[in-house]
Amino acid sequence: VGAIAGLIISLRRADGAARSDMLGRETEEDLRVICTRLRTKSAGPRKKLVSSIEKTLSQDDKLFAPGTPAAKLAKLVGQMRDPERGAEALGKRFKVPDLKKLAGNLRLLKTGKKADLSGRIARELHDLWTVLSGEGVAAAP
């Protein structure tokens, strides 16, 4: 499982061609695990799994492109030592419909109380910032 986490980090930091190459070397079982970790569809033949992973990562690239609101939020939450502080900040700053929309964009569960939503989002943004900031992605002010 640790190898898959490392692979997902590498996939997030790679460009399209490198991603395709890395995914081409993975077993179908590993591709299903990657899909599950990315919270995307994990059924179908190998080609469909690879396509689903590439599409999901491409959407995340657009969502967290430098200067986008999501990138700025990821930076804000990611730079906090404790994701729970980020959750508090998100809870104060956004209304439930906005949090649900962001949770949907991140492929997170959209149900629960406001504190639950902001907590899930903050943990995800914190983790994504940790990964993406390593290459300078999403590092826009």
Alpha-carbon span 124 to 106, nearest angstrom: 8
48 and 77 part of one domain: no
94 within a domain of the structure (yes/no): yes
Q: What SS3 state is found at 111?
A: coil
pTM score, two decimals? 0.83
**How many domains, the chain?**
2
Query: Among all chains, which residue has been given the structure tokens 């508090």?
Result: 88
**What are the angstrom distances between the C-alpha of 116 and each of 47, 84, 87?**
36, 11, 9
- 30: containing domain: 2-61
pLDDT band at 3 (very low <50, low <70, confident <90, very high): confident
Q: What percent of the chain has pLDDT over 70?
A: 94
Kindly report the average pLDDT of the chain as a whole number: 90
pLDDT tens figures, 39-92: 999 899 999 999 999 999 999 999 999 999 999 999 999 999 899 999 999 999
pLDDT surpasses 70 at 108: yes
Domain boundary (15, 43, 61) is at 61
CB within 8 A of 36, min separation 6: which ones?
42
Q: Is there a single domain that holds both residue 124 and residue 77?
A: yes
For residue 141, tell me if it sits in a domain. Answer: no
Residues 56 and 78 in one domain: no
pLDDT category at 4 given cuts 50, 70, 90 is: confident
Asked if residue 114 lies in contact with residue 98, where contact means CB atoms within 8 angstroms, the answer is no
- Residue 114 belongs to a domain: yes
